Amino acid sequence: MALAVGGPLVTAGTIAIVIALKRISEAIKQPKVYRFAFYSVAATVAGVAAAVLLMLAWPPAYASMLGNPDPYVYAFTFPWYYLLGTIAVAVTSTIFAIISALFLKKSLDIVGDRLSIKTFKTSGLLLVLGAVLAIVIVGIYISIAGYIVLATAFYTIRGESEWP
């Protein structure tokens, strides 16, 4: 249930953030803002694809290595194998999340400097910390806080005519 609701909401939120950063990028005449945001989304999509492919490829690869055509026979014989697969997927996801967060932080740092709103920089830092600590579950809550701070930062933007 959570994935059925959460997945589309996260996708919609990501699209909204990228559109907002695209408009800000055009308004402040800094194409790097949109470029880094786009790279962030690309890294996220690549990370999800890599994790899914790793989850799908892990059991058959191990089964073919041992010579048995049924990979799920080993679930009870070699439980550490599935633990290693889980760790591999978690590490892969974390690496791509960190790369994505670093690109988004670069984008938010430029916006924060150009608009003189330090909240953008703070949200970028929280998102990077959340990505680094996501492997320990605490990072998920830090990332949520980062997105809340980012929403606050977008609400503090003054009218375009008042930008430096």
Residues 68-98: tens digit of each pLDDT? 555 566 555 566 777 788 888 889 999 999 9
pLDDT over 70 percentage in the chain:
80
Residues 6+ apart with CB under 8 A from 60: 71
DSSP string, 12-60: HHHHHHHHHHHHHHHHHT-HHHHHHHHHHHHHHHHHHHHHHHHHHHHHH
What pLDDT was estimated at residue 66? 57
Domain residue ranges of the chain, discontinuous segments joined by +: 10-158
What pLDDT was estimated at residue 146? 95
Whether residue 63 is predicted with pLDDT greater than 70 in this model: the reply is: no
Kindly report the average pLDDT of the chain as a whole number: 84
| pLDDT range class, residue 158, cuts 50, 70, 90 | confident
Higher pLDDT, 162 or 56: 56
- Rounded Cα distance between 85 and 98, Å, is 20
